[in-house]
Amino acid sequence: GQQVMQIPQYQHVQEGEDFTTYCNSSTTLSNIQWYKQRPGGHPVFLIQLVKSGEVKKQKRLTFQFGEAKKNSSLHITATQTTDVGTYFCRFTGGGNKLTFGTGTQLKVEL
Amino acid sequence: NAGVTQTPKFQVLKTGQSMTLQCAQDMNHNSMYWYRQDPGMGLRLIYYSASEGTTDKGEVPNGYNVSRLNKREFSLRLESAAPSQTSVYFCASIPTPGTGMGQPQHFGDGTRLSIL
């Protein structure tokens, strides 16, 4: 069956450092979405990637979809305390079965 | 706009008790989902309803039942609660089924359920 690994599980950074989380799939993905969940909150949609090799940016966040559409990354440049939270990738596990990666918890220290 | 509303927000149960978690959306969305979230496990899909009148199992359906009461409402029932079901439960919805092109999921605020 389809397996998607999200790494790392946790990341502690100093404010101003960069951060990257990765989702890696054993099969080709039709699309991938990224969500952010603040502590105590619910997941909030950030962006969707559909095309092979696609790169999208949102201010300090850069999202990439691999050429083979089997992996994706989220990179944050110069982290701030407002970036604290857990970042999830989400993909379609066949039909309407929307499945999330295990998430990467980001902590930012001053 | 209310979006996705979940009730209750918190609940404590004893082992063996039953309860129903309620979810309602006012966005006229077709598809609705129930997830549970445990530390380090991400969001795991319990059940989903692609459209009114249909329900399907997700990754972890055992111990749960669902009802798609109408287009707005999708409830999750624990018939005999177990400590392993202690978790945060999220309901989510998307406009239309068939997510090949992807649509953002809209989440409720969650129900924090503890089973003693």
Q: Which residue of B has its CA nearest to A43?
A: B107
Q: What is the pLDDT of residues A74-92, one digit of tens each?
A: 999 999 999 999 999 998 7
Summary mean pLDDT of chain A: 92
Size of interface A-B (CB pairs under 8 A): 69
Closest-CA distance, B52 to chain A, in angstroms, reads: 13
Cβ-defined contact of B45 to A103 (cutoff 8 Å): no
* Distant-in-sequence, close-in-space partners of A47: CB < 8 Å, separation ≥ 6: A33, A34, A56, A58, A61, A63
Closest-CA distance, B80 to chain A, in angstroms, reads: 26
Closest-CA distance, A62 to chain B, in angstroms, reads: 18
pLDDT at residue A93 in the model: 64
- Measured CA to CA, the distance from residue A82 to residue B76 in angstroms comes to 33
Q: What is the pLDDT of residues A65-74, one digit of tens each?
A: 999 999 999 9
Ranges of chain A with pLDDT below 50 = none
pLDDT at residue A99 in the model: 85
- Measured CA to CA, the distance from residue A75 to residue B49 in angstroms comes to 33
pLDDT at residue A97 in the model: 76
Positive or negative CA dihedral for B22, A99, A39, A45?
Answer: negative
Cβ-defined contact of B40 to A98 (cutoff 8 Å): no
Closest-CA distance, B31 to chain A, in angstroms, reads: 8
Ranges of chain B with pLDDT below 70 = 1, 97-102
* Residue to test with chain B: of A100, A102, A104, A105, most B Cβ within 10 A: A100
* Residue to test with chain A: of B36, B43, B46, most A Cβ within 10 A: B43
A9, A43, A97 member nearest B107 (Cβ): A43
What values do phi and psi take at B66, rounded to 5?
Answer: -130, 160
Helix (H, G, I), strand (E, B) or coil at A110: coil
